[in-house]
Amino acid sequence: MRPVSTYISGEHRPTLLVALWLVALACSIALVLFILSLMLEGSQTPAGTVALGALLVLLGLTTYLWFNPDLLRSRYTEETLSVASSMLSDLHEGLNEKSADAICRKLLPETHASTIAITDTKKVLACVGDMVEDFPPGSPIHTPATHYAIEHGIMQSFTHSVYVHGETGNQRMIPAGIVAPLKVRDATIGTLKFYFSSSRDVNRTQYALVTGFAELLSTQLAIHELELQEELTARAEVRALQAQINPHFLFNTLNTIASFTRTDPGRARELLREFSSFYRSTLDNSGSLIPVTREIAQTRRYLTFELARFGEDRIKATFTIEPGLEETLVPAFIIQPLVENAVRHAMRDEGTLHIAVTVTSCDDGAVTIEVADDGVGMSEDTARRLFGETGITPDASAPQGSGAGVATHNISERIKLFYGPHSFARVSSTPGEGTTVTLHLDLLESIFVEG
């Protein structure tokens, strides 16, 4: 059976507890008077014994309530915090009709309002309560107080009747109301509105509820916008990387294909098909995460053009994926640019450049991607600066050229955006022996899903 308090609005629970204390006190006083009257009459009846026992119980209850005022409100506070917590989870996709409706339904039982509504800056997103037929979702904003709160970002209230034309076509009277702006970075993006059946219902408690819930919603909306900006930043990083990697071998590849049109037309047609697939994937893979096998397939396509350009004996590449990791989601363009850098900067004037790409799991649940080559290598200081670890702008510090610095810095930044601070990119190299780039991806901290 549900406790009686669950059927009483949050507004009245503290008042009810105070009333309970007053009733207990009044009953105690009445029993004292009754017992005194019996004592004056010299009567010792069972009623007197019962009255004395009841008095002791009521005195105990009265004393307990008097000396524990915080406990009177504990249930109300717990339920209010529970509502606030569940309300935050409703905003994980931002403020829309669905989330606004869920929030209004949770708030209404906790207040003395007859109707609760949430709007954006133009229309009603959700309305729950007595006036839902007059102000359904999608209807324009009606009350002057709401327009003022949106325009000036100031909380408004009215305790005199306001008449507006609802969506039903009839003139609707709103006896009283409180309207609080919802803000993100000082910009009003909507309102939280409490409408009441009587002006007497507009009191300090209701002001506090509207203010507190509006600030809570505004804070959560600001957090959601930051998360959204973080995702957009990651996508922008991908676009920047696409713009950086596309031009540098575009003309070389086209020239290679052109030369095959004279010597090997069949090979030229094959390269053109691969070239088309490569650029289509370059444009399509701007989503959040892709399977690591797709990233490796794109890397293989890239190597197809370099092998055609330099010769089959100049580059030997191997790809090893630990069983079970084939569908592991990784950011697009984190392997192919590293292999490209190896081809561009690690190849000697003669001989074969060996490149090994491995994908393995770690004991902590992370995944490690290594791109190793046996090329010309680089100094320790250069390797440290390749991912911008010294704070120097990568394109100015990386001797391999601005392209290498931008690409590696881009990869490092996107790994942090996708996987959090425990993920990293690291490079180790020895001049004359080769270079190994290690990407450590903390999958448990991943903030995106396949897109």
- Cβ–Cβ contacts within 10 Å for residue 280, how many? 10
Mean pLDDT of all residues in 271-276: 78
d(CA 265, CA 85): 66
Question: Over the chain, what is the mean pLDDT?
Answer: 75
**Does residue 348 carry a pLDDT above 60?**
yes
pLDDT at 6: 34
Dump pLDDT digits (tens) for 293-311: 999 998 998 899 899 889 9
Instruction: Give Rg (Cα) of the chain.
Output: 35
Q: How far is CA 251 from CA 74, 223, 258, 346, in A?
A: 72, 44, 10, 21
pLDDT at 110: 79
Mean pLDDT of all residues in 17-38: 57
pLDDT at 34: 57
pLDDT at 53: 55
Beta-strand relationship, 353-361 and 315-321:
parallel
**Does residue 394 carry a pLDDT above 90?**
no
Global confidence as pTM: 0.47
d(CA 308, CA 392): 36
* Percent of the chain residues topping a pLDDT of 70: 65
- Please check whether residue 115 is in contact with residue 128, taking contact to mean a CB–CB distance below 8 angstroms: yes
- Write down the H helix ranges in 113-203: 144-152
pLDDT at 2: 33
Dump pLDDT digits (tens) for 83-117: 666 676 777 778 899 999 999 998 888 788 999 99
pLDDT at 278: 75
Give the containing element (helix H, strand E) for 72: helix 69-89
d(CA 220, CA 92): 8
In this prediction, residue 333 has a pLDDT band, given cuts at 50, 70 and 90, of confident
C-alpha atoms less than 13 angstroms from C-alpha of 417 in its C-beta half-sphere: 23
**Does residue 315 carry a pLDDT above 80?**
yes
pLDDT at 409: 72
214-220 contacts at long range (C-beta below 8 A, 24 or more positions apart)? 214/155, 214/180, 214/181, 214/182, 216/84, 216/87, 216/88, 217/87, 217/91, 217/95, 217/103, 217/182, 217/192, 218/182, 218/183, 218/184, 220/87, 220/88, 220/91
Map residue 157 onto helix, strand or coil. strand
User: Beta partners for 440?
Assistant: 368, 424
Alpha-carbon dihedral 212, 213, 215, 218, rounded to 10 degrees: 180
- Please check whether residue 431 is in contact with residue 377, taking contact to mean a CB–CB distance below 8 angstroms: yes
d(CA 417, CA 401): 25
Greatest Cα pair distance, the chain, in angstroms, is 130
* Percent of the chain residues topping a pLDDT of 90: 28
Dump pLDDT digits (tens) for 164-222: 876 666 778 899 999 999 988 788 999 999 999 988 888 887 888 888 888 888 877 87
Find all residues with CB under 8 Å of 201, minimum gap 6, and list them: 112, 113, 176
The per-residue DSSP string of 235-285 comes to HHHHHHHHHHHHHHHHHHHHHHHHHHHHH-HHHHHHHHHHHHHHHHHHHHT
pLDDT at 73: 47
Beta-strand relationship, 171-174 and 162-165:
antiparallel
